[in-house]
Amino acid sequence: MATSVLSAAASGASCLLLVLLLCCSAGQCGLQKSNPTPPPLHNDINKPQTYPEEQRDSLPVFTMDYPRIQIPFEVTLWVLLASFAKIGFHIYQKITIWIPEPCLLIAIGLIVGGIMHAVKEEPPAVLSSTAFFLYMLPPIALDSGYFMPTRPFFENMGTVLWFAVVGTLWNSIGIGLSLFAICQFEVFGVQDINLQENLLFASIIAAVDPVAVLNVFEDLGVNEQIYIVIFGEGLFNDVVNVVLYNMFAFLSQMPVVESSDVFLGVARFFVVGIGGLFFGLLFGFVAAFTTRFTHNVRQIEPLFIFMYSYMAYLVAELFTISSVLAIITCAITMKYYVEENVSQRSCTTIRHVIKLMATISETLIFFFLGVVTITTDHEWNWAYILFTLVFAFVWRGMGILVLTQIINPFRTIHFTFKDQFGLAYGGLRGAICFALVFTLPDTINRKKLFVTASIAIIIFTVFLQGISIRPIVEYMNIRRTNKDPNTIAVEIHTRMMEHVVSGIEDLCGQWSRHYWKDKFKKFNDRILRRVLLRDNKAEHCIVSLYKKLELQHAIELMDTPMGDLSAAPSIISLDDERKEATRSMKTFLAADVRKMHEILSKNMYKIRHKRLAYTNKYRLPDNSQTREIMIRHHARIQRNRRAESFRERSQSNILGSQKDFSLQPGGDPASAFALRRRSHVKDKVVSARSSSSSLVPMRRLNIIKELSSAVELPSSSGVNLLDERGRTAPVPAPRRHSTNRSDEDGDPGDHPGEELVQPPQLPPPQAWVPDSRENELGNPLLRHQSQGSGGSGRS
Amino acid sequence: MGSRASTLLREEEIEEIKKETGFSHSQITRLYSRFTSLDKGENGTLSREDFQRIPELAINPLGDRIINAFFPEGEDQVNFRGFMRTLAHFRPIEDNEKNKDHTASEPLNSRTNKLLFAFRLYDLDRDDKISRDELLQVLRMMVGVNISDEQLGSIADRTIQEADTNGDNCISFNEFIKVLEKVDVEQKMSIRFLH
């Protein structure tokens, strides 16, 4: 605690230092400007030749040239400052749980703005229209598009579009009209704002910005549906926003509104939307196609992704169509093909850089929001601003209620009241609103009022709603789900059933529920993949992930002597088993049960759909659970393969069928029996470990025989090589790999007690992994594993 | 779904499967095309490797058990009938079926049969009891690596304790049914099959 306070103080101090530095440099710049070298005194040429002492310039040892680096320097300083603030927050973890990050950033921005105002400095024009829309917004949109969970998104596409389009329309028109009604009252002093201007302002503040909310929602475990609806809504209301803004801005110049303008507006909406989609798709496919040929220039592969998506954005801006839609569509289209074409490193680079840029952008935006709040000229009008807040809230709530009622019958999963509340309350406004209001034409004479009002509404929603949504939702959650103390069993069994259903769904290929989805898939496989992918191996991304995990697993096993994920925790010793039978019933206190619930909810694997789709906005997609499962699964397969290879080997043993012999050749009954009993223990171990398939219980006897046969007949392994090699079952790559590894540990003379005897190495497969590495890993790897497993046998 | 699929599957077979499992004609043909797409060896049966080739099953913690459930005792291949028979457990219970009296042969997707499917996932040795050992195995598969054995052991003990009524430290099928009596098993263990 003390250290965290210290480090917080340290970062705070460095922040302050940076600010001062910034002010000084700005001041310095002024100084520098007014200090050029004095011009030669030409006008004194008539004077006698008594020049002042000719100053012979000595060689400057130390010069400063600030203007040259001013812009990049200041940009870097600001970015550093904002990032320090971010570091500062995360030092004390609890803060970010209760106060969402945007709030903190705005707060720090307010402080810095206050300082700058006191020093009479102007902040850089970051939130001006150009800088914001051309530099700050694209990375955020790209990030949203690239990491969008596509499956839930497409499944909920209708709902998302419904809320985005109709919801935003409802909001803007509702708020605009009500504000206009308010303006009619003389007492508030805002009579000069006409209908168009009101509508314009309303269209600006109706746009919802999901950044802050997603953060909170994810921690609260709000379900996937709400997440995707809010996420999508925030992204797609940009289309409506653009249309409405342009339309109303245009109309505000006109004295009279005609009905033809409204129709044109609708037409424009379609142009904007479809145009955005078109450009996004175009650039996405071109990018995917380009990456098909980049395998020789791996270093610049990420460049294409960024350049193409930025191009999509800029071209859309050129035509004043929805650039956010364009870049998002581009990202979604690109991602699938690009991630298959580029190398693994490029893939990682792309993801990291996108996250980096998006985080910087977001941080800066909120930060400057705080700064600019202080430094702009405000015009405060209590009535207008208060009513804006009220109407924004009311209309959003009503809008969500009405819209949900209409759309619920069309959905398979209905929105409950809690969901609706989350949607309504989670409608925070963000920086887009702010930037838009700055771009208002200056012909609007109440522009300052609008600026103030939008700042007010942003800060209000972000702070108040952002901070309070968590306690409210938690309260609602707690009220709803009362954990019955007797439900540990139910919890486990239901999770088991969920896994099973999810597995069967995957087995049946039930990914899509739409005819169009199937059609697209066919089109994809037949045409798109052939054109856009370099190697059309039709390899699932999970399979390649699996292969990469294998390699990593192998390396990890080398590094961590005790870190054998596969075998360590699952062995139950025979002694414990015996203790089980005689153990009396333990009594469990309520506290114990609660603790168990906690453990289970934190540690049970979530089902696949929930696992893959959820991504935290501020972190890269986390597939550590998937990795764990795959590593353990792979290890299990390895063991089963070995067990199965034993069975096969013994079955085709030249010395006769081994199925039912009770006497080891060359052994006497007594020793065989003893051997079997000793091996029974091992068998328990083995059966516990190879838990996953019924191979084991059925072949229990065989394994005993094999163990003993392995012990007694090591030489027979050489004979069975042929069978191993001859077996050409169409095994998937991981299996082949594992067989290989098991075959490499070619030490038939292993001491008894080692359960495995390996035949010499098979010819290396044409697998993706370099052979030399395999050879290195072969022996120590296996010895590690079997040692680990033998050691933890505890028998 | 293509013509290739239906020519390989005879009408009488479809009728029989329909009667046995309750799937509709189109569902059966669709699942048959899925079956053939999985069947890389093209011999009309699926082996364990064919299942293990499905990537999503590799990342399912209970993937191996699920695959196992398709193969009857001691066999390594499953034909289409067996495939459908297992999948029939997951057919949703339609309203008109709910009110039917229990005939001699209960439909495969009845609540009891669904629960039996789940029960068999635990009970590998088919002795109609889930021992502590078997429970621990499944628990271990479902839970991350950070849980120690003792914690898992006590969770398993508690699970058995909640269910066990006759004190044999194992969960029998009836006890299993009783524990889950409040859970909407029909909905949880159902998949909406595409038509």
pLDDT tens figures, B34-64: 888 888 777 888 888 888 888 778 778 888 8
DSSP B130: E
**Helix, strand, coil: what percent of chain B each, to 5?**
60, 5, 35
- Tell me which residues of chain B, numbers 79 to 108, contact chain A at a CB-CB cutoff of 8 Å: 87, 90
Identify whether residues A428 and A521 lie together within a single domain. Answer: no
pLDDT tens figures, A696-723: 333 333 333 333 333 333 333 333 333 3
C-alpha distance from A508 to closest chain B C-alpha (Å): 7
Q: Answer yes or no: is B152 within a domain.
A: yes
Identify whether residues A401 and A517 lie together within a single domain. Answer: no
Interface probe, candidates A486, A497, A541, A690, chain B, greatest B C-beta count within 10 A: A497
Number of helices followed by number of strands (H, E) in chain B: 13, 4
Q: At what angle do helices A574-582 and A669-689 cross, to 10 degrees?
A: 80
* DSSP, residue by residue, A764-786: PPS-SS-HHHHHHHHHHHHHHHH
Q: Is B174 on the interface with A (CB under 8 A)?
A: no
Identify whether residues A508 and A438 lie together within a single domain. Answer: no
**B173: CATH:** 1.10.238.10
Identify whether residues A411 and A529 lie together within a single domain. Answer: no
Q: What values do phi and psi take at A752, rounded to 5?
A: -60, 150
Instruction: Give the count of domains, chain A.
Output: 2
Identify whether residues B121 and B83 lie together within a single domain. Answer: no
Check B133 against A688: CB less than 8 A apart.
yes
- Rg, C-alpha atoms of chain B: 19
Check A692 against B64: CB less than 8 A apart.
yes
Mean pLDDT is highest, among A123-127, A381-385, A670-674, B111-115, for B111-115
If 0-12 CB within 10 Å is exposed, 13-18 middle and 19+ buried, where does residue A312 land?
Answer: buried
pLDDT tens figures, A47-64: 555 566 666 778 888 888
Instruction: Give the count of domains, chain B.
Output: 2
* Gap between the Cα atoms of A720 and A646, Å rounded: 10
CA torsion through residues B99, B100, B105, B107, sign: negative
- Supply the pLDDT for residue A398: 92
Residue A347 predicted with pLDDT over 70: yes
Check A489 against B179: CB less than 8 A apart.
yes
CA-wise closest residue to A434 among A383, A360, A373: A373
Q: CB-based contacts of A583: which residues, under 8 Å, 6+ apart?
A: B169
Q: Answer yes or no: is A417 within a domain.
A: yes
- How many Cβ atoms sit within 10 Å of the Cβ of residue A316? 27
Residue A586 predicted with pLDDT over 70: no
Q: Answer yes or no: is A461 within a domain.
A: no
Higher pLDDT, residue B91 or A667: B91
CA distances from A737 to A8, A385, A494, A638, A743 (A): 50, 68, 35, 9, 10
Mean pLDDT is highest, among A290-294, A307-311, B21-25, for A307-311
Check A497 against B191: CB less than 8 A apart.
no
C-alpha distance from A618 to closest chain B C-alpha (Å): 24
Higher pLDDT, residue A701 or A417: A417
Check A489 against B118: CB less than 8 A apart.
no
Q: Is B33 on the interface with A (CB under 8 A)?
A: no
Domain hosting residue A253, numbered range:
128-366+377-447+470-476
Q: Answer yes or no: is A773 within a domain.
A: no
Identify whether residues B124 and B158 lie together within a single domain. Answer: yes
CA-wise closest residue to B168 among A575, A583, A488: A583
ipTM value: 0.91
Q: Answer yes or no: is B95 within a domain.
A: no
Identify whether residues B144 and B183 lie together within a single domain. Answer: yes
* Gap between the Cα atoms of A197 and A759, Å rounded: 83
Q: Which residue of A has its CA nearest to B151?
A: A596
Residue A561 predicted with pLDDT over 60: no
Residue B101 predicted with pLDDT over 60: no
Q: Answer yes or no: is B75 within a domain.
A: yes
Identify whether residues A132 and A187 lie together within a single domain. Answer: yes
Check B73 against A506: CB less than 8 A apart.
no
- How many Cβ atoms sit within 10 Å of the Cβ of residue A567? 22
Q: CB-based contacts of B98: which residues, under 8 Å, 6+ apart?
A: none
The tokens of B136 are what? 């621990």
C-alpha distance from A197 to closest chain B C-alpha (Å): 51
Decide: A317 and A133 in contact? Cβ < 8 Å: yes
Check A605 against B49: CB less than 8 A apart.
no
Residue A288 predicted with pLDDT over 70: yes
Chosen domain end from B61, B89, B117: B89
pLDDT tens figures, A388-400: 888 888 999 999 9
CA angle A755, A760, A765 (to 5 degrees): 110
Residues from chain B that touch A580, judged by Cβ atoms under 8 A, are: 132, 169
Identify whether residues B115 and B174 lie together within a single domain. Answer: yes
- Supply the pLDDT for residue A564: 44
Q: Answer yes or no: is B145 within a domain.
A: yes
Domain hosting residue B53, numbered range:
12-89
Identify whether residues B75 and B148 lie together within a single domain. Answer: no
CA torsion through residues B151, B157, B160, B165, sign: negative
Mean pLDDT, range A566-587, rounded to an integer? 47
Q: Answer yes or no: is B5 within a domain.
A: no
The pTM is what? Answer: 0.63
Q: Answer yes or no: is A431 within a domain.
A: yes
Identify whether residues B138 and B80 lie together within a single domain. Answer: no
Identify whether residues B81 and B114 lie together within a single domain. Answer: no
Q: Which of A104-118, A579-593, A670-684 has the lowest mean pLDDT?
A: A670-684
C-alpha distance from B85 to closest chain A C-alpha (Å): 13
Q: Answer yes or no: is B101 within a domain.
A: no
**A210: CATH:** 1.20.1530
DSSP A563: -
Decide: A303 and A289 in contact? Cβ < 8 Å: no
Q: What values do phi and psi take at A538, rounded to 5?
A: 55, 40
A63-93 residues labelled b (16+ CB within 10 A) or e (exposed): eeeeeeeeeeebeebbeebbbbbbebbebee
- Supply the pLDDT for residue A313: 92
Q: Is A599 on the interface with B (CB under 8 A)?
A: yes
CA angle A267, A269, A271 (to 5 degrees): 75
Which residues is B130 bridged to in the sheet? B171
Q: Answer yes or no: is A50 within a domain.
A: no
Identify which of B55, B67, B90 has the shortest CB distance to residue A542. B55
Residue A780 predicted with pLDDT over 50: no
Identify whether residues B113 and B190 lie together within a single domain. Answer: yes
CA-wise closest residue to A192 among A453, A456, A444: A444
- Tell me which residues of chain A, numbers 619 to 648, contact chain B at a CB-CB cutoff of 8 Å: 625-626, 628-630, 632-634, 636-637
Identify whether residues B77 and B136 lie together within a single domain. Answer: no
CA distances from B44 to B9, B50, B52, B81, B186 (A): 10, 12, 17, 10, 31
Identify whether residues A306 and A414 lie together within a single domain. Answer: yes
Please give the share of chain A, as a percent, with pLDDT higher than 90: 4
Identify whether residues A147 and A276 lie together within a single domain. Answer: yes
Q: Is A345 on the interface with B (CB under 8 A)?
A: no
Identify whether residues B82 and B117 lie together within a single domain. Answer: no
Q: At what angle do helices A590-603 and A488-507 cross, to 10 degrees?
A: 20
Chosen domain end from B89, B118, B133: B89
Identify whether residues B115 and B83 lie together within a single domain. Answer: no
Q: Answer yes or no: is B7 within a domain.
A: no
C-alpha distance from A209 to closest chain B C-alpha (Å): 34
Check B60 against A503: CB less than 8 A apart.
yes
C-alpha distance from B90 to closest chain A C-alpha (Å): 8
Q: Is A507 on the interface with B (CB under 8 A)?
A: yes
Q: What values do phi and psi take at A99, rounded to 5?
A: -115, 115
Identify whether residues A404 and A528 lie together within a single domain. Answer: no
User: For A376-480, where are the alpha helices, taking DSSP H only?
Assistant: 382-407, 417-425, 431-438, 447-460, 466-480
Identify which of B47, B52, B159 has the shortest CB distance to residue A489. B159
Q: Answer yes or no: is A100 within a domain.
A: no
Q: Answer yes or no: is B99 within a domain.
A: no
Q: Answer yes or no: is A651 within a domain.
A: no
Identify whether residues A504 and A413 lie together within a single domain. Answer: no
Q: Answer yes or no: is A225 within a domain.
A: yes
* DSSP, residue by residue, A51-118: PSPP-PPPPPSS---HHHHHHHHHHHHHHHHHHHHHHHHHHSHHHHHHS-HHHHHHHHHHHHHHHHHH
CA distances from A263 to A251, A322, A324 (A): 13, 19, 24
- Supply the pLDDT for residue A147: 85
Q: Which of A18-32, A262-276, A408-422, B89-103 has the lowest mean pLDDT?
A: A18-32
Residue A43 predicted with pLDDT over 90: no
- Tell me which residues of chain A, numbers 689 to 728, contact chain B at a CB-CB cutoff of 8 Å: 691-694, 697-698
